[in-house]
Structure 1
Amino acid sequence: MAFLAPAFLALAALAGVPLLVHLLRRRVGRVVDFPAVRYLERMEQEHSKDLKLRNRLLLLLRLLAVIAVALAAARPIARLVGVGHAPIAVAVVLDNSLSAGVVQDGRMHFDSLRADTKRLVSELTSDDRAWIVTADGRVIGGAPAALQAGLDALTPLGGRGNLAEATRRAVGLARSGAPRTPVVALVSDGQRSTFVSDSVVNVDEVPVVMLRHGVSLPRNRAVVQALAEPVRWTPSGAVTLGITAPDSAAWRLTLDGRTVARGTVPPATLDAPSRVTSRLASASTGWVRGSVELEADALRADDTRWFAVRVASPPTVSVRNEGGPFLGAALSTLVDEKRLARGREGDTKVVTVSSADAAGLKLPVLLTAPRDPLSVGEANRQLDRLNIPWRFGAIARAQVLARVPARGGAADTAAPSTRAFDGTPVRLRYPLVYSPGGAGGKPTTAPDTIATAGGTPWVVAGDGYVLMGSPIDPDATDLPLGAAFVPWVLEALARRLGDDGRLIEAVPGQTVTGMRGVTGLERPDGSLLPVSGDRLTVPGQAGVYFLRRQANRTGALVVNGEPSESDLAGLGPDTSGAPALLAGIVKGKDVVAIATASAWQKSVFSRAAGQALLLPFLALALVALMAEAWISGR
């Protein structure tokens, strides 16, 4: 037996009151024998056994009434005969992923999942505790009325979400309702890609009961790629789109809401989508919102895919010979393509590209390590004069790989850098040491490291500088030989040393970092969401959200669903594979999948540990008091 309110067991101490009264009545004072009461004394002696039995029975009934009331107040539950189900702590995991937005016969499938959840919630009592956990990690708690209102406000997510993480959170919430029986109730459309997780949740003893019902598989068309290159248009660029469709599909491409291109693609699968590259020019300047759209079908959320570009004049650079011939050739290529412009060194916003040991440098700069090891001392003194908080360390020659560190779980797709550094061999390097207090400062890990080599920073960036730990020479690194090198140089000059800001690609519900300096997020409808701190939870709906610093746009957050959400495999009405699906995210001793809503609801409540004994104990107390009154009256 368990108690929901064990503190009320202290009321059982009141059982001592009738016992104390009974004992006090037994106290005998000084006896005075009057002849007139001798007859009564004889009568009492004749009935003393009956009186003792009655008094003891009254005492037991009073004790029983007090103890029964105390037990009832403590809210006992046990596997005995009781009334209704025992109080339960149920966390409902509601799959509101993108695929739940499929429309069939004029009704969204998510509405059916929500209706099943609402029927379960309607059976809860005031003694139960319950939560709704969605695939994007949102938690709704409170009384049944609050849960019903929260369910009414839910909509399908613009992406996959994380059903495994939602289940892990639901298990923790259900356990927090002890001593109520913890149960996790999961309701999903059963899309296969949703039930694939890197880490399976071990629920141990907590029961997990899944309701999975599908729909007839619709014919789905989807935009799975919309890639704008380069990130900065001056003012032209290209958009590569990828489309999957069971038949030919017409598409249109928009910039700032205006249609700028149209076309048709042949049938294609998700594994090999049809790809089209369209070259465009924008009449707008600044950050521009774009989209690739298809005609609406049963799953409308994947019929549009978003992208963003920065339209501005080319960055201006001044190139010194000390940077080496490969860096000079890359910059000349960008100038010929009108993506860069040459400027005069020292002018405002003109970036100087050179080796760090060159004399007379001024910010902003893109600097490489000196080619001559004897010049490292002069290079460090130059960095000190420019107030750049990095120093070149001792030369290292072992071949290592340079990799871009993860940044907040989101792709920072001012993005060629992710391809330029990943797996690049480095044969000669000077480990970069962060030294904010000068050469004698204590080395620390800095937040502006772009790439590492041998476990130490190799390419870093900060306010007005980009610094590389190797000379740009094939004898030192294969970086200048890679196809992504020239795009990365443009990205470094335009974004890190220019005013382009950040372009971040993320999925709904994801957490991104690096939001220092961002004061707001401009939604697609123009409204502003305040931002504070370094972390941001990505909005649940797809679209382009502009990063704002006060009134200025400083970047863009592009939110799209995962392409895998367009694969509707598993949505069919066949539920025989549901247990195998559930095993993809959950492992435990009591994990079941059920096909009908009524059986699912019954199975959830059957996990309760017995019944509530509040009413039986109250009834026992009432019977004891009634018997005590009847005996006292006689």
Structure 2
Amino acid sequence: MSFLSPLFLLAAAAVAVPLVLHLFHRQEGQRVVFPALRYLLKTEKEHARRIRLRQLLLLLLRCAVVVVLALAGARLVLAGRGAAHPPTAVVVLLDNSLSSGRVLGEDRVLDRLKDAALEGLEAATAEDRVWVLRVGEPWDIAVPGSARAARTRILETGVSGARGDLSSALRRAGQLLADADMGAGEIHLVSDLQASAFDISSAAETGEYPVLVWRGLGDGMPANRYLLEAQMGGGLPPLANRRTELAVGVSGGDPDDEVTVRLFIDGRVRGAAAVGPGQAAVLPIGPFAEGWVEGYAEADPDALRDDDRRWFAVPVRAPPRVGRSGDSGPFVESALEVLEEGGRIVLGGSPDVLLTAAGAGLPDSEVRTVVHPPADPSLLPALNRRLADAGVEWRVRDDVGAGEVTVAENRVPVDLEGVRIRRRYRLEASPGAAGSVLARVSDGTPWLVATEAAGRPVLLIGSPMDDVASTLPVDAAMVPLLEWFVTGWGAGGIRAPGEVGRSLPLPSTATMVEDPVGVRWPVDGSLELRSTRHAGIYRVFAGDSLLELQAVNPPVRESMTEVLDEAGVERSIAGARVVEDPRDWGRVAFTRRQGWESWRALLGVALVLLLLETWLAASGVGPAARTAPISSPSPPRTAS
């Protein structure tokens, strides 16, 4: 037994009021004995005993009412598993990521999650503080509120197109509870518990606060079929008036099912192919005029419909004119000749891109420039002087350890897995230098770096382009990589599609972005657009001029619907308490429950006591006693 508001027990001191009134109300009248009324003494004593008994009962009833009201005000809690609990801070992690839009039977997964989240708040009181974090909306700002406001927010939640990062959400929830400093706090994780939503490298820590995990969907989630990213021309931009092809992969689902993939460009079907899971549909398309080509590939909808469409936007341009400076070596020259013979580039003329050996001509270049270092390390100081003269804030150092390495981190749309690098230089950035590492070797050293000099793109390569430094010149990747150097990189080439919920990088001259639903966002080109809430094509403008198109697709990891089992949940969340049976969820929420709060019952008892006191007091009031004057006895008469 305990009290939630123990200070209210001081009100029990009011029990002294009926006691004092009872004592002061007792009056002892002057007794006058009439000899003629002595026979009434016995009756009078019996009546007095009844009056005293009634007055004693009234006193007890009035004292009991005061005590019961004091107990109700102090919120008496009886031992047991009731709803009473101290004021508690609760963070509800409601997983509305893309996978929650999956249909199970007649309901979406999100509908079941919302029902569970509401059930977990049934025992909440006005003294609790509740946050509702929508896991699938990382841009959303959650503020604390009442349980009633939290229920409204839960009911208003819809399916997001973004990925849910449950590990990050749990850490954020733990920080919110620590900042709230309410003493009691807990986290309600209501999710489909996708394995891909957790960081498997370490368990999510939430501090001292318990995490209640709803696992009411069980393990019976069927495999999901989905499309992979659509890739045009092997990752290279198509050339004007030439045919190309688009490849889109199919993954997941029943391995025996055949899926029809359709290609839409400008709202019209331009091709279709039937493939099975684990295969790619390759669709020939084109030719196209110079400009932008946008569209999407889609499959027939299944239980999770939002991952059955993949958008793409690619530029179509004329073959670029390539200039050369310095001795590029026989391997580079041979690869350029192959590209020219295939109509992919034009050698000579006013260049669109400059390929320079050891930085020759770099300071005077006004176009995109690709710099590959010399085989002789004694020429590196001259290369670094040219980089400095051109305004490039990166340097090439000859202090990397010996030994063969591979390309371990590759952001270039060319497969470099088979390339072995025997000699490489270290690409070193000056403090505060801008640049992006496009590829690293297996020891972590940057191998390809994209940067800028005087507003023009510059690409630095970390190895000489000969067969002594690497196997690249004799590898099948040589020609595609060189083509990407001169056509795809830094020229508004094919940009990898963005992901819903992630920031969108913008050109420095961008002033506005139009999203797929037609909303226009004023932007600063030095920043990134964070409002990527919809899959589709985003149009980037500088004033009224279209700069580029960017495709944004649903995150592929959301399509991987494998669910963690109970052991996996406990490994991924420190201190997790997993609730498998949905019927138990409402009973285990609010872990610091103190028992059954009895104030409602006590108020009912007080009402009954007051009614009883009223009836008992009224039963002692009858018609006023009628009294007649009693004449004094006449003196005895004497005979005259």
TM-score where L is the length of structure 1: 0.70
Residues 563-578 of structure 1 aligned to structure 2 (within 5 Å): 565-570=558-563
Which residue of structure 1 lines up, in the alignment, with residue 495 of structure 2? 503
Which residue of structure 2 lines up, in the alignment, with residue 460 of structure 1? 449
User: Do residues 109 (structure 1) and 104 (structure 2) align?
Assistant: no
Residue among 221, 230, 238 paired with 2:245: 238
Residue among 287, 312, 318 paired with 2:317: 312
Which residue of structure 2 lines up, in the alignment, with residue 591 of structure 1? 577
Give me the whole-angstrom Cα distance separating, in 1, the residues matched to 2:5 and 2:343: 75
Which residue of structure 2 lines up, in the alignment, with residue 340 of structure 1? 345
Which residue of structure 2 lines up, in the alignment, with residue 490 of structure 1? 483
Shift of residue 459 of structure 1? 3.5
Give me the whole-angstrom Cα distance separating, in 1, the residues matched to 2:527 and 2:375: 38
Contact kept? 1:93, 1:187, Cα under 8 Å: yes
Give me the whole-angstrom Cα distance separating, in 2, the residues matched to 1:478 and 1:581: 43
Give me the whole-angstrom Cα distance separating, in 1, the residues matched to 2:535 and 2:225: 17
Shift of residue 108 of structure 1? 2.0
Which residue of structure 2 lines up, in the alignment, with residue 143 of structure 1? 146
Which residue of structure 1 lines up, in the alignment, with residue 421 of structure 2? 425
Which residue of structure 1 lines up, in the alignment, with residue 191 of structure 2? 188
SS at match of 1:334: helix
Shift of residue 260 of structure 1? 0.9
SS at match of 1:553: strand
Amino acid at match of 2:501: G
SS at match of 1:467: strand
Sequence identity (%): 28
SS at match of 1:201: coil
With over 3 angstroms needed to count, the CA separation of the structure-2 counterparts of 1:379 and 1:100, relative to structure 1, is closer
Larger radius of gyration: 2
Root-mean-square deviation over aligned CA pairs: 4.3
User: Do residues 99 (structure 1) and 109 (structure 2) align?
Assistant: no
Shift of residue 432 of structure 1? 4.1
Give me the whole-angstrom Cα distance separating, in 1, the residues matched to 2:489 and 2:2: 62
Give me the whole-angstrom Cα distance separating, in 2, the residues matched to 1:293 and 1:166: 32
With over 3 angstroms needed to count, the CA separation of the structure-2 counterparts of 1:172 and 1:428, relative to structure 1, is closer
Contact kept? 1:164, 1:197, Cα under 8 Å: no
SS at match of 1:133: strand
Q: What residue ranges of structure 2 are gaps of 5+ in the alignment?
A: 11-66, 604-640
Residues 33-432 of structure 1 aligned to structure 2 (within 5 Å): 84-121=84-121, 123-136=123-136, 137=138, 138-141=140-143, 142-194=145-197, 197-203=200-206, 205-214=208-217, 220-228=224-232, 229-235=234-240, 236-244=243-251, 245-246=253-254, 247-266=257-276, 268=277, 273-283=278-288, 285-320=290-325, 322-344=327-349, 347=350, 350-356=352-358, 358=360, 362-364=365-367, 365-394=369-398, 398-399=402-403, 401=405, 415-416=413-414, 419-420=415-416, 424-429=420-425, 431-432=426-427
**Cα shift readout 1:450-477 (whole Å, capped 9, x = no counterpart):** 4456766544332243233432111123
Which residue of structure 1 lines up, in the alignment, with residue 569 of structure 2? 582
Shift of residue 4 of structure 1? 11
Shift of residue 301 of structure 1? 1.5
Amino acid at match of 2:468: D
Give me the whole-angstrom Cα distance separating, in 2, the residues matched to 1:472 and 1:512: 34
Shift of residue 313 of structure 1? 1.7
Which residue of structure 1 lines up, in the alignment, with residue 628 of structure 2? none
With over 3 angstroms needed to count, the CA separation of the structure-2 counterparts of 1:328 and 1:518, relative to structure 1, is same
Shift of residue 305 of structure 1? 2.2
SS at match of 1:140: coil
SS at match of 1:460: strand
When the two structures are aligned, how many residues end up with a matched partner? 527
Give me the whole-angstrom Cα distance separating, in 1, the residues matched to 2:195 and 2:272: 33
SS at match of 1:310: strand
Which residue of structure 1 lines up, in the alignment, with residue 629 of structure 2? none
Contact kept? 1:183, 1:206, Cα under 8 Å: yes
With over 3 angstroms needed to count, the CA separation of the structure-2 counterparts of 1:284 and 1:593, relative to structure 1, is farther
Shift of residue 369 of structure 1? 1.8
Give me the whole-angstrom Cα distance separating, in 1, the residues matched to 2:449 and 2:560: 40
**Cα shift readout 1:316-365 (whole Å, capped 9, x = no counterpart):** 11235611111122222222332222331xx2x52222313546953323
Which residue of structure 1 lines up, in the alignment, with residue 515 of structure 2? 523
SS at match of 1:227: strand
